[in-house]
Each structure stands twice: as C-alpha cells, then as structure tokens.
A and B are shown apart, each in its own frame.
Chain A
Amino acid sequence: MADVATYAYLRPSLLTADGLALATSGGVSGSASEHPRFFTGFLTTPEPAAVGLLAVAEVARARYFQPLNRASLDPVVTGSRDRLRFESFSGCCGVYARLDVLPGGLDGETVDHGTTNVDVNPELRQALARVGGADPLHLDCGQDGLTVSTLDGAVVERKVPLPTRWLRGFAEVHVIASRFDPRLEVGSTDAAAFLRRLPAATDRSILWVVPAGRSLRLTSRPVPGAVCAAGAGRLAALRPFARFATVLRAYGPVVGTGGSTLVTAASTWELETPSLRLSLTLSPEPARGFSGEGAVLEALAGDDVADDAELIGNLLGWDPTIDVDRLATGTGLPAARIRAALTYLGTSGRVGFDVAEAAHFHRVLPFDPQRVARLNPRLVGAQQLVESGGVDLVADAAWVRSGDERYQVRVVDGQPVSCTCPWWARHRGDRGPCKHALAVQMAVSKSAVDSDA
C-alpha cells in the first residue's frame, strides 16, 4: 500500500480553440519517450468522444463501494496502429471502463505506439462537457517534440496512492473478460430506457438481464442466456453516452447450466457508435473488487507457460488486436499454447482483452505489475504451504495443514475441485481457488514432474 503513482506531465491537458491536447506521462512506447505522443489529427465525432472520455475519467475517480472520498488515478491510453484505447479502473476496483476510438473516429497521423497515463484535470473535464456540434475537433495525444524541448521538466506533477489491488484488478479483468461471449443486444431507444430504469447507484442488488422481445427485462435468477447486472446502478456512467449510441451489447460468461451454484457473475456492458465503443465491466458484487477474483491464480501457479509467454511477449506488435494464428505461424507453437501464453501475459497487465473483437490487444501498463503479481497473497500462501510440506496427497483428496487447522481438498482428475476452508465455503470457487487448492495444484504438478523424472 505504500506505493505512490507519480504523474509528471509537461503541461496540463487543455481544450482550446486549437483543439484538445492530452498530456501524457510515463509508460512504454516505441520511441521510449517519457511523454509519448501517439496521435495528432482530428476526432471526427467530437461530442460523443468527449462524453465517452468523460465517462472513462468519471470511473477512474469513482468509488462505488464505500464511497468515502474520491480516487484520483488517471486513465491510461494505449495507441495502436489505427486506434486509441482509453482505460480506467474505479478506486474500489469493481468497475473497469474503456473507450475505444475506432479507425472511423480518427482522422490524422499515428505517431507512436504504446501505453501511457493521460492527464484529465478538472478544467479539462469542464471543457469536455462543453464540447458540442459536429465539427471535427483537433486532437493531440501527447506533445510534439518541439514543445517538449522548450520545456524544462514537468510542470504538472501529482502523487497519488497506488494500491497494489488496483494493478491486480487490471490483470484479473482481462482474464475474466476473455471468458465472455456476447449475449444481449438492443437498439438505442431500448438501451436508453433500460439504463434509465436501473436501480440507484448505491443499490447492491444482484439482478440478471434477459432479452424480452426487442428490449431487456430484469430477472432474479441466472437463467441460460442471462447477463448479470450486480449493483447495476454502477452502469450510470454509461447514461450520458447512451444518446449517441446505436446499440447496447452485454457480454457475460456461460450461466444457468444444470447443477451450477453460481449466484453472481461479472459482465461487460458496451455502447457503440460507428466510430466509438464505450464499455464498462462490472465485478460480480459492488463490494468485490476484481483484484480479489483470483482468476489469474491458476495460470500463475503453474510455470510451464512462462517460457511461451516470454517468447510471445517479445513478438507482440502494436496491431489493433493480436492475431493468434499469425503468432502461431511465427513461433511454430499450437494456437492453444499461444492463448495460454496470452492469458499469462495478461496476468502481468501486458495484454488486455477486447470483448467486442473477442481478441487480446497489446498494452503495457505504465507501472510495474510484475512485482505486483508476486504479491498475490493466496499465491504466496500456497507456496509457503507447499514449501513447509503441509500438503499430503491421498487417493482422491488431499489434506492441507495450515497453522492449527486441517483442510481437505477434493481432487478430481488431478485438479482440486473443492476445499473445506471458509473461503471456499463462502465462494465455492467463483472467486478463484483458495490457497489450499492452489497448494494442492502445485503439489500435484510437482509430484507428476518427480514421477516423470
């Protein structure tokens, strides 16, 4: 928790008669500049783009659970070959927002590729709220070299606390979203009506949404085809953008299959215009941040994909999405291993997942997430359990000794499927494995390696 994010900008982001100039700081880019410049040109639909950018900034400032004081983290922007992606995470780690400015929304020159922080200050928010009309708006994403050379160091510097869970959340949401499929789709009128009908922002109800004719209706159970809307009031950030959108889509995991004990799930809600896509991904409960979902743990517990990931990580270009087939041809690895490696890269924030394209995209978080991945408490706990010899494998189960307690982990086909610990009892696996199950997974794969040798 002692981490502090330092935002050092050469000047504040501005919206003037000359256009919108977004200031950047840190991160990784092709030119290895401290203040990378991704794009210069025009936004073809300025008003929706401004409202969408405001929505992303709003989520970055929000805490939906225990909203005591506002978070103040800046969004990050990723420039790829033909588009810009603005991403942010709420302070409570429960909502992930992304605005994709698609090729149709940009008219200009892509200067550089990479990911960096972007300054969204109060004055800029106010100015963005004023943007109207249909005239293209000039956009500079990052300063040009000339301006940089005349300035002596940063003129805007802010330090804000950067909780490790914020970074873990970024990694988790990508793994969770990669299991989503499109499930619902409604037109603009019904989308606006649906967003208007949602419960209040503070409501914590877990509801499900199913199609009803052309529109949507709420239901109390995860029936097949339903998308979860947990704390649906959190979708309020989409409302201002709804008036531009032509379609609202919802994405979610498979639910409602027989015997499932699932009571809630994450979901992505996306509004689309021809040139922009704004999406919010909600955690399964307002009180649950993505950081604790544990979706990356299984990938991190095994180290067999790490080598593939390292190889592939070096091959990632700045295409709008990552082409698995081309990587497969390039490396000679089968597509399944490529996908596993991409998931692994996602755990350290090096790729994101775009549900609309059902594809990964390359970005590098402007922080050091590698270190954070190692701080995963459950993973650390599991390693300690294995090292202390607390795992005792028997036929179809394993006993794990942790402190004074003994837990029984049921093993089916070499995979841990349940545990008798309180964490498992409470979440039944839908927040990832507990540390005992992880320890058993590590012990099983270790014993397999030993017996091979």
Chain B
Amino acid sequence: MSDVTAEVMVLVRHGRVDDLVRVLAPLAPPMRRGIAAALKEYVKTRDAQQRIRTPALLVAGAGCLPTAVQVAAWLNRREFRFQRGRGALIIQALTDRGVTWAPEIIGRVVDALPTRDDWQLEIEWRFAAELIVASGAPTPRDDPFVIGWAMQQGYGRGLTTLERLRSDPFLPDLLPRLFEVDGVGAYLTSLTGETGSSITAFPAALATLAAEGQVDRDVLLDGCLGRFLRGGPAAQLRGSVQLHTALAPTEAETEARTLDYARLLPATAPAVATLAQTALRRLDRAGRLELDTLLEGAAAILRRSDRALVRAQLSWLDSVARRERDRVGDVLETVEHAFGQEDVGLQERALAIVEAHASACTPEVRARLAARAARLSADLPARARSSLGDPGPVASAGVAAVVAVPARRETVRAIGSSAELAAELAALGQGGKVELERVLEAIVRLAATDRAGLLNAVAPVMARHEKATAEYAASPWFGPSLLDKVLDIVRTVRDKRPGPGLAARARGEGGGWIDHALERFVARRLAEAGLWVSERPVPFLLSTPTWTTGHIDPHALVDRIAAAEAGGGRPWSTDMTQAILRLPRTIDPDATARAARLASPEGRLLAEVLRAGGTPDPRTRRVVVRRLRGRGESVADKARPDDAVFVAVDGVHADPVVQTLFRLDPPVPMGHGAEVLWPAVLPSHREVIAAHMLDHFEYGFRGTFDALVLLAECEGPCGPAMVLAVAYGLSAQHPEGRIAAVDALVALLSSGELEPGALGAELGALSVGGQVKLSRAVTSLTELAKAAPEAAVASVALGSVPSLLAHAKPPHGTPDLLALASRHVRPGSTVDADAVTHLAAVAARGGSSRLVTEASRLHRILAAGSVQPATRPARAPATAG
C-alpha cells in the first residue's frame, strides 16, 4: 500500500472529510485506482460499517472509483443509506478530478430513490438534493423526487414553510409536478416539524407566494383543477382543496374555468364537488353563469348521495326558479332529480320547491311532475296528490318480493372412503370449512371396520401436522387445537390405548384455561371418542346429525339405538347426551311409538324425552354486568361503555353435562373456540346457544356473526338472548356481520319467531346506553326493508322510538331511524302509545332540526291513520330456489 493510499485510509477511518478532499485533489489517475482498490476491500470489513465513516467513504469513492457507473453504485450502496451526506464535497471531489460525470451520477442516485418506504425516501432525498444543488444539475422531475421534496416542506431550523419556499431552488421546476404526481397530495397537508405543524402551512405559503408574484397564480389554479379533474381518493386531493381555498379565485378567474368547475360536479370527492358548487353559485350571483350549464350541473349534484350538497343545490334552484320565470318548467324538472334521493327530508324539500313554483309552469310539466311525485316515500305522495293533482294510476314502486332464505335442511353426506377422510382432516388443519361431524363419524366407523385403511390414509396428514406443531409448546390458555383433538382419536386407534389427558377431558376437565363452555362440550365428546374408540368400540355414533343444522331425525336415532341393542355394545354417554339434545322440536308420533318399544337404558331415556316432547327450555333473562376493565385495553376497548348487556340462563337438567350449559349466571366474560360448531350443540334451543355466545356477539369479532345465520336455521323460541344477538349483529362494525344479521332476521321474521317490537326496544336501549352505534343499525334496517315485510321493518323501527326519544340527547342516527319508520309504517298498524307521546313531544319543540322534522313527519303519518301511502302490493314471500 502506497503512502498516499495509507493516508487516505487513515482519513477515512477518522471521518475527516474535508482533509480527504484536499488530499485527493492533486492525485493522478493511477494513484486513485490504487485507492479505489483499497476502498473496495475496506468496505467489506466490519470496521467500515461504522456510520461515522460513511461520508468519508462516499467522498473517497467519488474521488477514486474509475467510472461514473461505479461511483453511482458506490453512492447507492445499501450500507450507506443511513448516513449519506456531504454532497457538496462529493461534487467537489468529482470536480477536482476534472470529470463531468455529475449529471449521470445524480440521475442514477435519483433513480434509486425508494418508492415504497416514505421514511427512507425522506432521508435519501436530502442527499440527492445536496448533490443537485452543489453541481447545478437540472432538477429531476421523477415521481419519488417530487414526493421527497414535498415531504421536506414542514421541516427546517427556525424558518417557516413560507420562508423556506421563498429560497427553495426546486420550487419553479417542481411546482407543476406537485399536481401531477400520484401520491404527493397527502404530503401537502401532513406537514409536521418545528414550524410547519399546521396542515394548511404549505397551501397557504404557496398562495402567499402567488400573491407576491413569485409564482404564477394560473399555474396553481390550473394545477388544482387538473388534479381535481383527474380525481382520486379524498386524502390525495385535500392539499389541492386547501390550496384552492387559500388562492380564493376571483370571479374572472372562475368564469374563465366555468366548464372545468361544472365537470367536477358529478363524480368527484364531496369536498371537491362542494368547492365547485360554491364557485359556480358565486358566478351565478354575479349573473355570469349560463342557465343551461347551471341546470346540467344541478342535475348531476341532485343524483349524488351527499346530503349537504343536495340541500345546498335545492335552495340554489329555489332561488333560480323564483328568478327565471320563463324557464320555471326546466328548473322544476331539474329539481325533480332529487325525488330519487333516499332521504325523505330531501325529497320533501324538493317537493316543497316544486309545489311553490308549480303554478308558473305549463300543465304538461305539472302533470309530469305529479306522476313522478307519486313515487316519493312516506306521506309525500299523498301530499303531492293534493298539491299537484292526481296523477292517476301509478305503477308499483316494486318493494321487496324475494326473500332468499337458505335451504334449511340440507342432509349431511357421509364420507365415503379413507382417502376422502384424509382430505377432510387436512382441511380441518387448514381452517377450511369445518366438517367436524362428518370426520368424527367416519373415524369411528372406519376404526371399527377398516382400521388398517384408516391408519394408512391418515398417517401422512398426522405426521405432517405433528412435524409442523412439534416446535410450539402448547399454551395453557388455549387447549389442544381442534385437529389435535380429532387426531387424538386416531392416535388411540393406532396405539390401541387412549393417550394421556383424554380421560380428564372426557370429564370436562383439562383443556385450555379460556375454553368456551360450548367448546368444552364439543371437546368432551371428542375426548370420549378418543377414550373408548379402542376399548369400547361402537360401529357408529348416535349423535351424527341427519341435517346440516345439527338435528337428528328421531326415526334415525330410534334405528341407531335399536341396532346398538341388537349388537350388544353399550353407546357412549356424552354421545347419547348430544344425540338427545339434537332431537327436533316437532316429532313424528310414530317415532315416539317406536321408541317406546326400546329396552336399553338409552332407549328408555329416548322414549321418555320423546314422550315429554323434547328437552324443556331453560328460562333466560337480560342482565347488565359491569365490564371488566384492564390496563391492556385497546383504544376501541376503552370506548366501550362500562355496562355490558348479556343474558343469564336459569335451567335445571338431570344430566350434569347438560346442566353446564343450562345454567349461565353470571354470564362468562369471554371464551375461546370454533364458533361455527356451537349452534349444532343445541339446535333446538338456540336461545341457550345465543346466551352462551353473547360475549362474542357483544365484542363483535369479525366473522362471528356467521353463527347468527346458523342460529336462525336452528329451532326454539327467541327470547332476550336471540334478540340481543340480532341487535348486536345489526350494528356490527363490518358489513359482512351486518348482512349476516339481516339474513338471520329475515328468516326469523318470516317465520314469525322473533318479535320485531322487542328487537326495536332492545336496539333503542343499546343505542342510548352506548353499547351499539344506531347509525349502523339503520343501514342494516334499510337493507332489511328490501327483503322483509314492511310492517315488520316498521315495527322494529317504531319499537326503538320510546327509548331513543326519552333520552335528552337522542343518539346519532335517530333522525335516520325515524325517516326509515316513516317510509315503511302503514296506517292502521298498532303502535305503542308511548312512542306516539314521545314523537308528539319532540314534534312540539318546533325548529328545523332534522330530529324535529322527522319526528313530526312520523307523528303526522301515525296520527293520520286514514291516509293511504303509495300503493305497494304485498306479495307473498317466496323462497329462492
């Protein structure tokens, strides 16, 4: 190593960048090549990883590496990414060599800017910018460079965003790109840092610069409008919206861009459409907007779903109708677009405008408007008939006719071969569709008939599962996985004796600390099978369901017990318990008669249960418990109110195993397990299942509410637990939960098993108590109205009115619920007097709040029992199929 090389390396190690530049400057190319080789060796060492050495390494590399490509690759090295800097000295080192590579190197550094990692981009951008400023290279216009530039604008020492932008070398070149690059919009309003913490700092600074004449106002304004026209998510547009506001375009500027503003009305984000609407209205006030442009834009707005925009547009059109007496007809036919709004309040406002000016338009227009008004909601068609005239017979609005209820009783198909069993077992392990009953049945049957085939087919699946789980110690919180519980049975078959722990689990002990009561019951059955499959084998299980709901055909059960009696084997006890619990509620008398001829203890028990008409229902009652609070609560958990509503079960059953399910007081805090399996445990007592599952429903896990549809397919009376379960479902956070609840409710209402008024009362109480969000329930009820009888929907809505309105400050969504009730209530339906009193009280308050408006409307409709709303033929619910 030459002296110079050694000296350079010492300087690098000490991070003495300035001296390094001085030493490198006079060197001849051969010297530099020697240093380059040394650098390449050095950078591989651990020593070079010290971040303090990075700038020196960069400078040395720039001064010595032989080609522009190599220098660029050196600068882009990953290990330098945290401490890149001293760009000016790097350019100095290049200049001292007399090479003109800077632009090419910069191009490569800019190309390498990260596109996904914001945090990294922010760091690396500064290095690229240093190189550009120092070399005087042209400003790159690549997307990451523009985004990186925008990210910098909130930071700086003591300078405001405005002060920094004034002296920013990149501003003139990058300003137009600010509106073109995807993804840069979010940074215009998310500035943080010493002086730029305001979300409007950047837009305001640009507006000020425009006012000072430092940047072109037209560039900014056209940039904003172009950005709006190209559209995008609201968050990306917010910066441009604020810039537009800060620029405060003049009338002349707006007029020059009238068409652009008009094109923003139909489909852009609400904030943008609002801004365009305001701009156009201002032009209109100044008499600088053509009526046709106005009306075309208004029609587009009135088809949107943003209430504020529609409301503003309607008042604007009202004033236009007053002014343009020659074209009142055109104006009103534009107003008519708002008749298609779902919100009754908006419909009413539109109708009021039409009524006010109808006298000024031709009879033909009036007749057309009258015909269209017949399709309005609630009591508005009746009102339109008296104000606009009778439109004659009107085609039905076509409300809910098809009720899609899944086939309730699909037969369970048995597994045909050991190969099929192996595939199903593998699926259990992958969280696929749980087919536990079929798997269980096949294992027990094959263990008795084809032991070798069973073991041969299942061995690879079992081995794979054991290998995959070998490294994980079992958690005491969760018991063995479902697959493990099933494989325990196969292991007993293989080893010809039950494994450890099975006896305890079969007694309902062991398992996970947080196993759900229903999960324990399922586990008990599986453990029992594992315990006896080798020592007391049975040719088949008693409890295998006949139908997918979990029910067993009573005849099938009689047959099975008779076969067991003939075969001499003694059925397993939990298996028998489960079989009895799976009997349907309506029983063929023939089956009862056949059961009476059975002799074994199981046969006598079956005969007794069938004679008694099934297992009696335990009582259930609604209880309010104090929520357990803990330090580990998430933000969402903290928002939950202290009071939680559950249901206690008070029942007595002779069988101690069933007793664990028939008594639930106080309700358990939380239990873990496979929810889809639980309804089939008690398919004729869904109220009990619902009570046990309320902890899940109340907490609203994603996917939990699928079980609600299963419960709707089960049988049994619907008490407080079912009502509560549906109420939680209707106000679930995720759409699929709400839709599942609607499906369940459609089925329960069409069979008349759930009382809609009780559900309404519960929804009202929960909303007032803060346990659920009413506005979510309203969206569910709107969906329900498409499939359930109108009267039932109205009963649910009306049922919630007393508790909602009794509250001093009715929860958010109350007006929407009242409007929903108005849309679906039928005159002559029996209404709780309490509801009417509360509605009258709110209506009497006066004022123009939505609550008062909607309460008055509903009160008016209920009071005017004789008025017929729009004709809606009630069609019989049909099952899809």
Interface residues of A (CB under 8 A from B): 51, 58, 61, 68-70, 122, 125-126, 129-130, 132, 189, 192-193, 196, 199, 201, 203, 205-207, 210-221, 223-226, 239-240, 243, 256, 258-259, 261, 263, 396-397, 405-408, 410, 418-422, 424-426, 428
Are A130 and B786 closer than 8 Å at their CB atoms? no
CB within 8 Å for A214 and B402 given contacts A206-B736, A424-B426: no
Please name all residues of chain B whose beta carbon is closer than 8 Å to the beta carbon of A220 when the two chains form the complex.
706, 709, 736, 739-740, 743
Are A424 and B423 closer than 8 Å at their CB atoms? yes
A406–B459 CA distance with the chains assembled, in angstroms: 9
Are A225 and B423 closer than 8 Å at their CB atoms? no
Does B413 belong to the interface (CB within 8 Å)? yes
Least Cβ distance of A431 to chain B in Å? 12
A249–B168 CA distance with the chains assembled, in angstroms: 54
Interface-facing stretch out of B73-81, B393-401, B491-499, B794-802 = B393-401
Are B786 and A425 closer than 8 Å at their CB atoms? no
Does B66 belong to the interface (CB within 8 Å)? no
Are A213 and B267 closer than 8 Å at their CB atoms? no
Please name all residues of chain A whose beta carbon is closer than 8 Å to the beta carbon of B398 when the two chains form the complex.
213-215
Can you identify 15 A-B contacts, CB atoms within 8 angstroms? Answer: A61-B182, A69-B116, A126-B230, A129-B263, A192-B303, A211-B402, A212-B786, A216-B786, A220-B706, A221-B406, A221-B743, A223-B405, A258-B407, A261-B433, A410-B423
User: Taking CB as reference atom, which chain B residue is nearest A131?
Assistant: B263
Closest 7 A/B residue pairs (Cβ): A425-B430, A214-B398, A129-B229, A240-B267, A205-B736, A212-B786, A217-B786
Kindly supply a per-residue 1/0 record for chain B positions 246-267, scoring 1 wherever the CB is within 8 Å of any chain A CB and 0 otherwise: 0000000000000110110011
Does B49 belong to the interface (CB within 8 Å)? no
CB within 8 Å for A212 and B303 given contacts A219-B743, A420-B422: no
Please name all residues of chain B whose beta carbon is closer than 8 Å to the beta carbon of A212 when the two chains form the complex.
400-402, 786-787
Are B880 and A225 closer than 8 Å at their CB atoms? yes
User: Taking CB as reference atom, which chain A residue is nearest B456?
Assistant: A408
- Which among A126, A132, A407 is the interface contact of B226 at CB below 8 angstroms? A126
Are B260 and A210 closer than 8 Å at their CB atoms? no
Please name all residues of chain B whose beta carbon is closer than 8 Å to the beta carbon of A217 when the two chains form the complex.
404, 783, 786-787
Are B426 and A205 closer than 8 Å at their CB atoms? no
Least Cβ distance of B110 to chain A in Å? 16
User: Taking CB as reference atom, which chain A residue is nearest B432?
Assistant: A425
Does B305 belong to the interface (CB within 8 Å)? yes
User: Taking CB as reference atom, which chain B residue is nearest A220?
Assistant: B740
Are B183 and A226 closer than 8 Å at their CB atoms? no
Are B422 and A210 closer than 8 Å at their CB atoms? no
A207–B741 CA distance with the chains assembled, in angstroms: 13
A-B interface pairs (CB < 8 A), number: 155
CB within 8 Å for A420 and B460 given contacts A207-B736, A243-B266, A425-B429: yes
Does B807 belong to the interface (CB within 8 Å)? no
Please name all residues of chain A whose beta carbon is closer than 8 Å to the beta carbon of B743 when the two chains form the complex.
219-221
Interface residues of B (CB under 8 A from A): 115-116, 180, 182-183, 226, 229-231, 233, 259-260, 262-263, 266-267, 300, 303, 305, 340, 342, 398-402, 404-407, 410, 413, 417, 419-420, 422-423, 425-427, 429-433, 457, 460-461, 464, 706, 709, 734-736, 739-740, 742-743, 783, 786-787, 880-881
User: Taking CB as reference atom, which chain B residue is nearest A426?
Assistant: B430
Please name all residues of chain B whose beta carbon is closer than 8 Å to the beta carbon of A193 when the two chains form the complex.
342
User: Taking CB as reference atom, which chain A residue is nearest B407?
Assistant: A258
User: Taking CB as reference atom, which chain B residue is nearest A67?
Assistant: B233
Please name all residues of chain B whose beta carbon is closer than 8 Å to the beta carbon of A51 when the two chains form the complex.
267
User: Taking CB as reference atom, which chain B residue is nearest A410?
Assistant: B419
A216–B432 CA distance with the chains assembled, in angstroms: 30
A77–B821 CA distance with the chains assembled, in angstroms: 50
Least Cβ distance of B244 to chain A in Å? 16
Least Cβ distance of A193 to chain B in Å? 7
In addition to A199-B735, A205-B736, A212-B787, 16 A-B residue pairs with Cβ atoms within 8 Å of each other are A69-B116, A69-B183, A122-B180, A130-B229, A130-B260, A132-B259, A196-B305, A216-B786, A218-B742, A220-B739, A221-B406, A224-B880, A406-B460, A424-B423, A424-B426, A426-B432
- Which among A221, A256, A408, A424 is the interface contact of B460 at CB below 8 angstroms? A408
Instruction: From B226, B405, B410, B429, name the one whose CB has the most chain A CB atoms within 10 angstroms.
Output: B226
Are B460 and A240 closer than 8 Å at their CB atoms? no
Please name all residues of chain B whose beta carbon is closer than 8 Å to the beta carbon of A419 when the two chains form the complex.
423, 426
A219–B735 CA distance with the chains assembled, in angstroms: 10
Are B735 and A203 closer than 8 Å at their CB atoms? yes
Please name all residues of chain A whose beta carbon is closer than 8 Å to the beta carbon of B402 when the two chains form the complex.
210-213
Least Cβ distance of B514 to chain A in Å? 26
A397–B453 CA distance with the chains assembled, in angstroms: 12
A132–B423 CA distance with the chains assembled, in angstroms: 58
Please name all residues of chain A whose beta carbon is closer than 8 Å to the beta carbon of B303 when the two chains form the complex.
192, 243
Are B229 and A126 closer than 8 Å at their CB atoms? yes
A240–B433 CA distance with the chains assembled, in angstroms: 38
Least Cβ distance of A288 to chain B in Å? 15
Please name all residues of chain A whose beta carbon is closer than 8 Å to the beta carbon of B787 when the two chains form the complex.
212, 217
A240–B265 CA distance with the chains assembled, in angstroms: 11
Least Cβ distance of B787 to chain A in Å? 5
A422–B422 CA distance with the chains assembled, in angstroms: 12
- Which among B183, B401, B433, B783 is the interface contact of A70 at CB below 8 angstroms? B183
Please name all residues of chain A whose beta carbon is closer than 8 Å to the beta carbon of B404 when the two chains form the complex.
210, 217, 219, 223, 225-226
A308–B733 CA distance with the chains assembled, in angstroms: 53
User: Taking CB as reference atom, which chain A residue is nearest B341?
Assistant: A193
Least Cβ distance of B225 to chain A in Å? 9
Are B433 and A408 closer than 8 Å at their CB atoms? no
- Which among B116, B262, B413, B425 is the interface contact of A259 at CB below 8 angstroms? B413
A405–B460 CA distance with the chains assembled, in angstroms: 7
Please name all residues of chain B whose beta carbon is closer than 8 Å to the beta carbon of A422 when the two chains form the complex.
426, 429-430
Please name all residues of chain B whose beta carbon is closer than 8 Å to the beta carbon of A420 when the two chains form the complex.
422-423, 425-426, 460-461
Please name all residues of chain A whose beta carbon is closer than 8 Å to the beta carbon of B425 when the two chains form the complex.
420
Are B460 and A396 closer than 8 Å at their CB atoms? no
- Which among B262, B266, B709, B880 is the interface contact of A210 at CB below 8 angstroms? B880
A70–B233 CA distance with the chains assembled, in angstroms: 13
User: Taking CB as reference atom, which chain B residue is nearest A201?
Assistant: B233
User: Taking CB as reference atom, which chain B residue is nearest A419?
Assistant: B423
- Which among B401, B406, B413, B417 is the interface contact of A213 at CB below 8 angstroms? B401
CB within 8 Å for A240 and B786 given contacts A126-B229, A203-B735, A210-B880: no
Please name all residues of chain A whose beta carbon is closer than 8 Å to the beta carbon of B230 when the two chains form the complex.
122, 125-126, 129
CB within 8 Å for A408 and B305 given contacts A217-B786, A224-B881: no
Instruction: From A58, A217, A243, A407, name the one whose CB has the most chain B CB atoms within 10 angstroms.
Output: A217
A428–B433 CA distance with the chains assembled, in angstroms: 9
A256–B410 CA distance with the chains assembled, in angstroms: 12
Please name all residues of chain A whose beta carbon is closer than 8 Å to the beta carbon of B342 when the two chains form the complex.
193
Are A428 and B400 closer than 8 Å at their CB atoms? no
Are B263 and A408 closer than 8 Å at their CB atoms? no
A69–B183 CA distance with the chains assembled, in angstroms: 8
Least Cβ distance of B546 to chain A in Å? 15
A68–B740 CA distance with the chains assembled, in angstroms: 31
Least Cβ distance of B371 to chain A in Å? 15
- Which among A68, A201, A213 is the interface contact of B400 at CB below 8 angstroms? A213
Least Cβ distance of A192 to chain B in Å? 7
Least Cβ distance of A32 to chain B in Å? 35
Least Cβ distance of B259 to chain A in Å? 7
Please name all residues of chain B whose beta carbon is closer than 8 Å to the beta carbon of A261 when the two chains form the complex.
433
Please name all residues of chain A whose beta carbon is closer than 8 Å to the beta carbon of B262 when the two chains form the complex.
132
User: Taking CB as reference atom, which chain A residue is nearest B147?
Assistant: A69
A421–B423 CA distance with the chains assembled, in angstroms: 8
- Which among A258, A263, A405, A418 is the interface contact of B410 at CB below 8 angstroms? A258
Are A130 and B259 closer than 8 Å at their CB atoms? yes
Are A129 and B231 closer than 8 Å at their CB atoms? yes
CB within 8 Å for A425 and B427 given contacts A122-B230, A420-B460: yes
Least Cβ distance of A165 to chain B in Å? 18
A118–B353 CA distance with the chains assembled, in angstroms: 48
Instruction: From A70, A216, A223, A226, name the one whose CB has the most chain B CB atoms within 10 angstroms.
Output: A223
Please name all residues of chain B whose beta carbon is closer than 8 Å to the beta carbon of A216 when the two chains form the complex.
786
A391–B432 CA distance with the chains assembled, in angstroms: 26
Least Cβ distance of A59 to chain B in Å? 13
